[in-house]
């Protein structure tokens, strides 16, 4: 038993010691930095900062108390404190996006943007968590090794083939799959399952708080709505099974019927096709902030840098002749 545990631990140590090119984490860093900045700017332009993050005593809409520790430390949600934290969050997000200043901007962006959203927790959503979870993994990943200002300063070039740890990208995969599984598990209303006729999405699309436009017409397409509801719920609940595919793919050389069956086709492509479809549907029909683009940014991590590089090279080869006259 001790021997088996020791063996498993050694494999885990080796697994977490693996390295890969930084390109995927860099792309993720750029996407998350840009989306964090866009979310902040959108909050300012939409009057959220001045009404929902500033206390009623200073012109805001509601009483907010002292706010989270970072805001309370400087005197609470007054205009001066909130706008200062906001400015720091924007600056840090820009640095994350362009890859300047090393690792620190990621944690600064995470803590400042989180502090802003926690001033009024009732105005926050799942995407705030996706942002902070992402920024921490960017912080530990070395995502600035390529496609960054830091890379340019260090090497004189914008890109490099420097290697970074592979485990932060793998934790992004875990984060994504755990998010789906957890949200699926919490869909306890009967309308999400066969007993309620898989009608949940009909009700979601009729909710005036979320829909972007009048969607009463979807009532005429209930078979499609039921299929979409079923696909959504089962996709979320089934997301962790993608780990089985990763395990089977990684240990393919050991053989066995289960591995052969699981790796017959690339399950990630099915996962991506369904997931992208769901998120695009949510993005078009519902206003839930940048939840869909942020989730899709995590999808970058599903494939290794070498796989992305291979596709890029192949698409380049096929695109070049076509572009010639």
Using CB under 8 A as the binding rule, the residues of this chain from 305 to 324 that contact another protein are 306-307
Answer whether 80's CB lies under 8 Å from 55's CB: no
DSSP label of 211: B
Q: Which of 17, 65, 75, 102 binds another protein (CB under 8 A)?
A: 17
Between 153 and 311, CB nearer to another protein: 311
Q: Which of 178, 224, 244, 313 binds another protein (CB under 8 A)?
A: 178
Q: Which of 120, 141, 148, 292 binds another protein (CB under 8 A)?
A: 120
256 binds another protein (CB under 8 A): no
289 binds another protein (CB under 8 A): yes
How many residues are there in the chain?
Answer: 325
Write out the binding residues for another protein, residues 21-50 only, by CB under 8 A. 42-43, 46-48
CB of 56 vs another protein, minimal distance in Å: 6
**Helix or strand or coil: residue 186?**
coil
CB of 4 vs another protein, minimal distance in Å: 17
Beta bridge partners of 163: 21
Nearest-CA neighbor of 233 among 269, 195, 266?
195
Answer whether 215's CB lies under 8 Å from 206's CB: yes
Find all residues with CB under 8 Å of 205, minimum gap 6, and list them.
211, 215, 218, 225, 285, 286
Answer whether 135's CB lies under 8 Å from 36's CB: yes
Between 102 and 190, CB nearer to another protein: 190
Strand ranges, E, within 133-232: 163-165
Write out the binding residues for another protein, residues 179-208 only, by CB under 8 A. 179, 181-183, 185-191, 195-196, 199-204, 206-208
Nearest-CA neighbor of 40 among 83, 73, 5, 4?
83
Q: Which of 27, 37, 40, 225 binds another protein (CB under 8 A)?
A: 225
Binding window for another protein (CB under 8 A); candidates: 92-100, 258-266, 304-312, 315-323: 304-312
Between 31 and 166, CB nearer to another protein: 166
Between 113 and 144, CB nearer to another protein: 113
Q: Which of 132, 141, 144, 146 binds another protein (CB under 8 A)?
A: 132
Between 149 and 171, CB nearer to another protein: 171
Between 16 and 315, CB nearer to another protein: 16
- DSSP secondary structure letters along 69-84: HHHHHTTSS-HHHHHH
83 binds another protein (CB under 8 A): no
Between 34 and 248, CB nearer to another protein: 248
153 binds another protein (CB under 8 A): no
CA triplet 41, 75, 36: central angle to 5 degrees? 20
- DSSP secondary structure letters along 259-280: HHHHTSS-HHHHHHHHHHHHHH
Q: Which of 41, 91, 123, 267 binds another protein (CB under 8 A)?
A: 123
18 binds another protein (CB under 8 A): yes
HSE-up (13 A, CA, CB side) for residue 230: 11
136 binds another protein (CB under 8 A): yes
Distance CA 286, CA 275 (A): 16
219 binds another protein (CB under 8 A): yes
């Amino acid at each position: 038993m001790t021997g088996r545990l020791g063996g498993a631990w050694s494999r885990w140590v080796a697994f977490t010691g693996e390295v890969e090119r930084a390109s995927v984490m860099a792309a993720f860093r750029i996407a998350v930095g840009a989306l964090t900045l866009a979310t902040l700017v959108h909050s300012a332009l939409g009057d959220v900062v001045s009404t929902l993050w500033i206390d009623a005593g200073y012109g805001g809409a509601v009483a907010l108390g002292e706010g989270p520790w970072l805001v309370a430390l400087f005197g609470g949600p007054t205009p001066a404190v909130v706008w200062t934290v906001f400015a720091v969050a924007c600056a840090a997000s820009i640095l994350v996006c362009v890859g300047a200043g090393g690792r620190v901007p990621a944690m600064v962006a995470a803590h400042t943007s989180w502090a802003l959203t926690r001033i009024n927790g009732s105005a926050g959503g799942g995407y705030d968590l996706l942002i902070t979870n992402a920024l921490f993994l960017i912080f530990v990943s070395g995502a600035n090794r390529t496609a960054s200002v830091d890379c340019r300063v260090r090497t004189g070039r914008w890109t490099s083939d420097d290697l970074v740890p592979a485990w932060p990208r793998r934790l992004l995969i875990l984060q994504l799959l755990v998010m789906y599984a957890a949200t699926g598990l919490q869909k306890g209303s009967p309308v999400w399952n066969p007993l309620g006729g898989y009608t949940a999405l009909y009700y979601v699309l009729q909710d005036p708080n979320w829909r972007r436009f009048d969607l009463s017409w979807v009532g005429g397409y209930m078979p499609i709505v039921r299929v979409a509801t079923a696909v959504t719920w089962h996709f979320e609940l089934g997301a962790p099974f993608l780990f089985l595919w990763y395990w089977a793919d990684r240990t393919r050389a050991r053989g066995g019927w289960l591995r052969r069956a699981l790796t017959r086709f690339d399950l990630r492509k099915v996962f991506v096709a369904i997931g992208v479809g769901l998120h695009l549907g949510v993005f078009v029909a519902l206003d839930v902030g940048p939840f869909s683009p942020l989730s899709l940014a995590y999808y970058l991590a599903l494939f290794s840098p070498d796989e992305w590089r291979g596709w890029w090279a192949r698409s380049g080869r096929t695109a070049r002749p076509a572009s010639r006259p």
